[in-house]
């Protein structure tokens, strides 16, 4: 008989009897109950999550409007995966409203950092307040809207004074055209979701060549997250995404970070199994030292967590 690794909680039943159920059997917006096989290092960071609340009005024309996904919900996934820290990213759903992200930071007991979406009219005082709250970057979303790309250099200069970075999400086929602009930024740059490189094509594409050159500078990071956004080979292996990930691990493991993308807002039907996706990292980065960089050390340095 094969036994799977599960942790259980006891629930009192009728007549004082107890039954055992998996402690994370009902993690919202995540499929599966099993623990990952991969053991993450202490202090690991999930570099990409979002929070949603039905009480907060989406901006007009928002493409992604998931139901409530709270910090309490996410902590169940943290326990399942063995993670300790997180980066909360304001989603396109709320435009320039960073209130849910800031609320999550306030409730995190120092175990979270934030990425905000800001307007060009933001004052220095407002930026300083965000910094004190734990914000460490600003996001430009070229896929679903937000701050205009024309403001990239101006805002990058302002947040660079705080030691923040710019975070960019865009279709991969836009990277070659943006490359020269991105290379001129004064601050550090994070590219979401492994650049969302075009598939099929992957490692042979112009997108991959541009992303590789950007990472090679040492001033650019990217996230191993959301393979379902671009993979054509699909779950559970996401083999085409994995080819790109493996190639970049060999190139600059010190510029990669792992992220869950919980609650997976682009997956509007069946959600993925987060433990299975985490376990793929053992294939993409077979070296323990590389995984330690990707799961902990790179994000600790970039976001300013305690070592």
Tell me which residues are annotated as active site.
261
In angstroms, rounded to a whole number, what is the distance separating the alpha carbons of residues 12 and 96?
Answer: 45
* In contact, 278 and 241? CB cutoff 8 Å: no
The distance from CA 81 to its chain's CA centroid, rounded to whole angstroms, is 15
SS3 of residue 191 by DSSP: strand
Q: Which residues contact 137 (CB under 8 A, 6 or more apart)?
A: 114, 115, 116, 159, 164, 165, 166, 167, 190
190: nearest Cα among 250, 125, 245, 258: 258
Q: What Å distances lie between residue 76 and 73, 90, 103, 188, CA to CA?
A: 6, 20, 18, 32
Residue 12 backbone dihedrals phi, psi, to 5 degrees: -65, 135
Structure tokens at 3: 């036994």
Residues in the chain: 307
Structure tokens at 72: 């309490």
């Amino acid at each position: 008989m094969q036994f799977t690794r599960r942790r259980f909680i006891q629930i009192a039943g009728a007549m004082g009897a107890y039954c055992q159920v998996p402690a994370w059997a009902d993690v919202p917006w995540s499929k599966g109950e099993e623990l990952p096989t991969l053991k993450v290092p202490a202090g690991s960071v999930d570099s990409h999550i979002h929070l949603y609340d039905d009480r907060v009005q989406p901006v007009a024309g928002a493409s992604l409007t998931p139901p409530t996904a709270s910090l309490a919900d996410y902590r169940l996934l943290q326990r399942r995966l063995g993670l300790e820290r997180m980066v909360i990213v304001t989603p396109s759903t709320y435009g320039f409203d960073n209130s849910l992200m800031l609320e999550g930071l306030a409730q995190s007991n120092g175990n979270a950092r934030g990425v905000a979406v800001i307007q060009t009219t933001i004052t220095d005082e407002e930026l300083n307040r965000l910094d004190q709250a734990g914000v460490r970057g600003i996001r430009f979303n070229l896929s679903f809207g937000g701050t205009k790309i024309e403001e990239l250099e101006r805002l990058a200069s302002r947040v660079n004074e705080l030691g923040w970075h710019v975070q960019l999400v865009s279709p991969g086929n836009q990277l070659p055209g943006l490359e020269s602009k991105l290379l001129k930024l004064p601050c550090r740059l994070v590219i979401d979701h492994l650049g969302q490189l075009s598939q099929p094509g992957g490692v042979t594409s112009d997108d991959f060549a541009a992303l590789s050159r950007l990472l090679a500078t040492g001033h650019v990071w990217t996230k191993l997250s959301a393979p379902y956004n671009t993979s054509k080979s699909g779950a559970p292996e996401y083999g085409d995404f994995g080819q790109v990930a493996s190639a970049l691990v060999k190139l600059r493991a010190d510029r990669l970070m792992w992220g869950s993308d919980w609650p997976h807002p682009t997956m509007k039907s069946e959600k993925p199994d987060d433990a299975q996706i985490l376990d793929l990292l053992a294939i993409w980065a077979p070296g323990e030292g590389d995984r330690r960089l990707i799961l902990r050390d790179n994000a600790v340095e970039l976001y300013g967590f305690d070592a």
